A = this chain, B = another copy of it.
Amino acid sequence: MTKHRLQGNFFEDFRLGQVIRHATPRTVSDGDSATYMSLTGSRFASHSADTVAQQLGYPRRPLDDMLVFNIAFGKTVPEISVNAVANLGYAELRFVSPVFGGDTLSCESVVIGLRENSNRRSGVVYVRSTCYNKDGSVVLSWVRWVMVHKRKPEAKIAENHVPELRSATPVEDLVVRPRIRTSEALDEWCEATGSRSLWEDYAPGNRIDHPLGMTVEEADHMSATRLYQNNSRPHFDALQMRSSPVGRRLVYGGHVISVCRALAYDGLENVLSILSINAGTHAAPTVAGDTLYAYSEVLERQKVPGRSDVGVLRMRLVGLKNTPPSEVSALTMQEGPSSSSYHPAVVLDLDYSVAIPRKPTNGARHE
């Protein structure tokens, strides 16, 4: 019988510079937004209401950034990570243009790095993936690296290259779409979010313990992962996962990010959109029954060149399982998101940048 694509790629199938066009273009709709909301509880105002989004210069509400990311990511799974041992990290993720109901997304990846492990049974593949809209414009792009099994340990690997990645996208390379055109527009925005905490109110070193917790159910994380057409087996097949180290289905890491971001609404109500994900680590697995909590740290506060209405906050979002943030002191965290030694409650360490309105500069304070 002829080949029917059933097995995905193994480490020795990848080549440096290889271009992979991923399958299953996907039209998105308000239905995806409703489903996403029902699975995550997202409340960020620019994705919630057309009227609010129009005040920011959008034609209508764009889809939630993390919904777009997760759909895009899902496309890359069959070729990149269906045989992955682990998703090791993200870097250089940049949201370039917003996505609206009716848009159609497709993805492409380029292999930018390969490093065989010393045990010769697996290797690390680095890919830069780009998600396009139907008109060919770039929606977002990102780098991730995954550990992938070799089909045969004895297979020879000619290429070894670890790409250099930026620790964070510089502010001048961020695409900041939303605009606050007038002082009245700022007032309306703040009314829509119920908060007057603006860019100036967040200082590097500040920490926000988000008050809510969310217990994850099997049906929830599987529905989210299916919505993204992500077919990675560990999220769905309880029977096979019995013989895995954790012994059960694992929650897709992108769902953990989405839930933690939704929890991070309280205290970050005025975030307009995510601009970049600079680094991300899934520090420990999450399974159904775990209750997720989150806290945020302000890493940097940056001005946007040529813009006085909106500033950038580089944030650290820490996701915790079964432990409220008040019980996790910053001291128990190691340095930086690349560390491998975390407090055992930490499931997610995400370094990302967001746009948030600034206070008017003419002295007319709003508070």
Contacts and interface: CB of A to CB of B under 8 A. Distances in A.
A299 interface: no
Contacts of A194: 5, 21-24, 78-79
Contacts of A238: 215, 289, 291
A177 interface: no
Copies of this protein, total: 3
Contact of A2 (B3, B50, B79, B201): B201
Interface residues on A, range: 35 or more
Contacts of A197: 2-5
Chain B CB count within 10 A is highest, among A79, A209, A231, for A231
A265 B229 CA distance: 11
Interface string A61-92: 10000000000000000110000000000000
6 contacts: A1-B203, A7-B211, A22-B194, A27-B49, A27-B50, A215-B249
Given A6-B211, A29-B101, A37-B226, 19 more contacts: A4-B268, A21-B194, A24-B43, A25-B192, A27-B49, A29-B30, A30-B30, A31-B35, A35-B35, A38-B227, A39-B223, A40-B226, A51-B104, A213-B240, A214-B222, A215-B237, A217-B217, A231-B265, A239-B322
